[in-house]
Amino acid sequence: MPEVIGTIDELRNRLGAARDKAAMMGGDTRIVLVPTMGALHDGHLALIRRARQLGDIVLVSIFVNPLQFGANEDLDRYPRTLEADLQALALEGVPFVFAPSAREMYPETNNTTRVAAGPVGLLLEGAARPGHFDGMLTVVAKLLNIVAPDTAVFGQKDAQQVFLVQSMVADLNVRVAIDVVPTVREHSGLALSSRNRNLTTAESEAAAALSAGLTAAQVAASHGATAALAAAHALIDPQALVKLDYLVVVHPHTFFPVSADHVGPARMLVAALVGTTRLIDNVALDVA
C-alpha cells in the first residue's frame, strides 16, 4: 500500500529524504505530481501511468478542495473512496499519497490569499460555477509549492482547467512542466469522470450523445466552425435527458470563442446537465 501522508511538513521531509538519498548516490530524483480529488477511475490511472514514464517518484494527492465548490454544489455529495483509491494506487506501484485534511490545507489563520484565474476563469465552467477556477488554481498553486515537483500531470478532459493551470504556471513563473494526458472514454465514448457514477443507466446512454456530437463535429470541421457546431447539435439536442449548458468552439491560445470564419486549430467544448449530474467534454478540431 502507498504511504499516506497527511501533513505538509511530513511530506516535505519524506520528499527531501528521497532527494538527498538520490543525490548521495550521484543521481537525480524527478518527482511527478498527479493532483486528484480521489474517487479514482481509469482516467486517473492513465495520468499515473504517464507520471511513471516521466519521473522517479509519483506522488498522488487526494484532496477534495472545498474552495472550488460553490455554495450550491456537490461538495458533500462528491464521492470519497480513500480505501478503494489506495488499493488502486498500490496496484500501480505508487509509493506516496498526500491526503491532507481541509484544516491542514486551509488553516484557520493566514488563508485568505487566492489565485485569481482572470477573464478566462469567468467563461464557460467559470460562468456556471462562480469562483470555481480561483479555488482550483489556489489549491494547485499550493500543491505545486508544497511538493515542488518537476512535472505535474493533468487530464485533457478538463480543458479549461488545463488552460488555466498552464496560464498560471507561465504567468507566475512556476518552475514545473505541465503534462496533459488524453481523455479516457467508456466504450460508448462517454468521457470518464468521477461524476459518472451518479448517472442512471438511461442517463449514461443519453450522455454518450455528448461525445458522439463532438466526434461528428471533428468530421464536419472541414466545412468550418458553424458546420462543426451544427453537426454536434444534431446529435445532442434530440436527447431529452441532456440539458445543454454550452457548446462552443474556442481558440486554443485564448480560450475565447472563435469567429465563424476561423480557420486552424480550435477546441470544441460541451457542458450539459444529465439528470442532476453536470458533465463536460471536449475535443480538438482542425477547422478548415
User: Among all residues, which ones are annotated catalytic?
Assistant: 44
Q: Find the DSSP H helices in the chain.
A: 8-24, 42-54, 82-91, 102-105, 125-128, 132-147, 159-171, 201-220, 225-236
Q: Do 153 and 47 meet the contact criterion of CB atoms below 8 Å apart?
A: yes
How far apart, in whole angstroms, are the C-alpha atoms of residue 131 and residue 8?
Answer: 25
Question: DSSP letter at 192?
Answer: P
- Binding region for ligand PAF (CB under 6 A) out of 7-15, 20-28, 106-114, 134-142: 134-142
Note the maximum CA span of the chain: 63
Nearer to ligand PAF, 65 or 277 (CB): 65
Q: Which residues contact 139 (CB under 8 A, 6 or more apart)?
A: 35, 63, 65, 67, 68, 105
User: Whose Cβ is closer to ligand PAF: residue 176's or residue 232's?
Assistant: 176
Stretch near ligand PAF under the rule CB under 6 A, chosen from 29-37, 51-59, 89-97, 280-288:
29-37
- State the minimum distance, in angstroms, from the CB of residue 121 to ligand PAF: 13
Residue 29 is given by DSSP the state -
List the interface residues with ligand PAF, window 42-81 (CB under 6 A). Answer: 65, 68
Of 194 and 204, nearer to ligand PAF (C-beta) is 194
Contact in structure between 285 and 218 (CB atoms under 8 Å): yes
Which of 140, 207, 221, 247 is close enough to bind ligand PAF by CB under 6 A?
A: 140
Smallest gap from residue 180 Cβ to ligand PAF (A): 12
CB of 139 to ligand PAF, least distance (A): 5
Residues 6+ apart with CB under 8 A from 9: none
Neighbours of 70 (CB within 10 A): 13
The span of 33-41, 80-88, 106-114, 221-229 binding ligand PAF (CB under 6 A) equals: 33-41
Residue 100 engages ligand PAF in binding (rule: CB under 6 A) = no
| Cα end-to-end distance, the chain, whole Å | 50
Point out which span in 31-39, 71-79, 119-127, 199-207 binds ligand PAF (CB under 6 A): 31-39
Single residue of 33, 59, 120, 139 touching ligand PAF by CB under 6 A:
139
Residue 35 makes contact with ligand PAF by CB under 6 A: yes
Which residue lies nearer to ligand PAF by CB, 193 or 239? 193
Residue of the chain from 37, 88, 247, 274 that contacts ligand PAF (CB under 6 A): 37
**Which residues, numbered 148-187, are part of the site for ligand PAF (CB under 6 A)?**
158, 161
Cβ proximity to ligand PAF: between 150 and 158 the closer is: 158
Q: Which stretch binds ligand PAF (CB under 6 A): 20-28, 92-100, 135-143, 216-224?
A: 135-143
Write the DSSP string, 144-177: HHHH--SEEEEETTSHHHHHHHHHHHHHTT---E
Query: Closest Cα to residue 195, out of 275, 86, 282?
Result: 275
Per DSSP, the three-state class of 275 is coil
Q: Considering beta carbons, is residue 61 or 211 the nearer one to ligand PAF? A: 61
Residues near ligand PAF (CB under 6 A) = 35-37, 65, 68, 136, 139-140, 158, 161
